[in-house]
Chains A and B, each alone.
Chain A
Amino acid sequence: MDRKELKQTLRNQATSIDEAVQKKLACLTGDNPFAVEEDNLTDNAFTELLMNDNTAPIQPKTISEPITVEDKISAHKQSLAEKIAALRGISTPIPSGYIHRKF
């Protein structure tokens, strides 16, 4: 590797430690619930919010009823919550009346 390139790479890695510490602290203390831990899905505070989402379950729809954007978002959130739960090795409560549909 070119020396100049190596030095620049090492320099780029050394972003402000104090800033990184504050960010880490914010994640740990929950001051920023939307703070994202880099490459660490299981500690993501946002996933906690998703898991505890109290959105009312979508009501079953008949074939003739159109599927709205909101339906898709709810289904996606439920699907995502299940995937996250699987990663964390816990089960998620399935809201009653929910019909798992592929969109």
Chain B
Amino acid sequence: MDEEYIKTLSDVEKTAFLKIFCKLIKADGAIEAEEVEFLKAIAARYGFSSNTMVEIIKMAPTIDCMTEARQIKNRQHALELIKEMCLLANIDDDLHDAELDIIIDVARVMGIEDEKVIVINRWVLDNLILMKTGRLILEKDNG
């Protein structure tokens, strides 16, 4: 997926994104390997060190997603956040109610329309399916 948006994020926004991702991962009470991989990969792409990630993960219980989401003023960035959240929520093939609540709450705080969330989620799922199909065809792993 397009990651050009990362270059346009401020440090404050990147931190907000990662905090929200951490909260989302812990939302369903189970942490899957794919979610951990996603977090590690995106933290690296955002330029965060492992130590920083550990600190953010430790503070997960105290993170308030709404407060973090209110720091995202740019609509383009807000849409990218929703996209990444949908990807994270769907990547373990198990969409939990608590995950949906967080996505909806964050979207509404940032002023993103429900219909837009639906379209983004559908697009993310299509991309996930293509990506996993590609991995199978190229024999990279089990998919």
- CB 8 Å contact bits of B44-58 with A (1 = contact, 0 = none): 000000000000000
Q: Which of A4-12, A48-56, A65-73, A75-83 contacts B (4 or more CB under 8 A)?
A: A4-12
Verify B114–A1 contact, CB threshold 8 A: yes
Count how many chain B residues have C-beta atoms less than 8 Å from C-beta atoms of the other chain: 23
**Which B residues are CB-close (under 8 A) to A13?**
118, 121-122, 125
**A102 on the B face (CB < 8 A):** no
**Prevailing SS type, chain B contact patch:** helix
**Which A residues are CB-close (under 8 A) to B115?**
1
Q: In whole angstroms, how far apart are the Cα atoms of A24 and B133 in the complex?
A: 7
**Which A residues are CB-close (under 8 A) to B114?**
1, 6
Closest B-chain residue to A15, C-beta based?
Answer: B125
A35 to chain B, nearest CB (A): 13
**Which B residues are CB-close (under 8 A) to A11?**
95, 100
**B111 on the A face (CB < 8 A):** no
The interface size bin for chain A is: 10 to 19
**Which B residues are CB-close (under 8 A) to A16?**
93
Known contacts A1-B115, A17-B129, A24-B129; can you find 11 more A-B pairs with CB under 8 A?
A1-B114, A14-B95, A17-B93, A17-B128, A17-B132, A18-B93, A18-B132, A18-B143, A21-B133, A21-B143, A25-B133
**B130 on the A face (CB < 8 A):** yes
**Which A residues are CB-close (under 8 A) to B129?**
17, 20-21, 24
**Which A residues are CB-close (under 8 A) to B100?**
7, 10-11
Verify A17–B125 contact, CB threshold 8 A: yes
Q: In whole angstroms, how far apart are the Cα atoms of A21 and B41 in the complex?
A: 23
Q: In whole angstroms, how far apart are the Cα atoms of A92 and B143 in the complex?
A: 39
Q: In whole angstroms, how far apart are the Cα atoms of A82 and B106 in the complex?
A: 50
17 A-B contact pairs sorted by A residue (CB < 8 Å): A1-B114, A1-B115, A3-B104, A6-B114, A10-B95, A10-B100, A10-B103, A10-B118, A13-B121, A13-B122, A14-B125, A17-B90, A17-B125, A18-B93, A21-B129, A25-B137, A28-B133
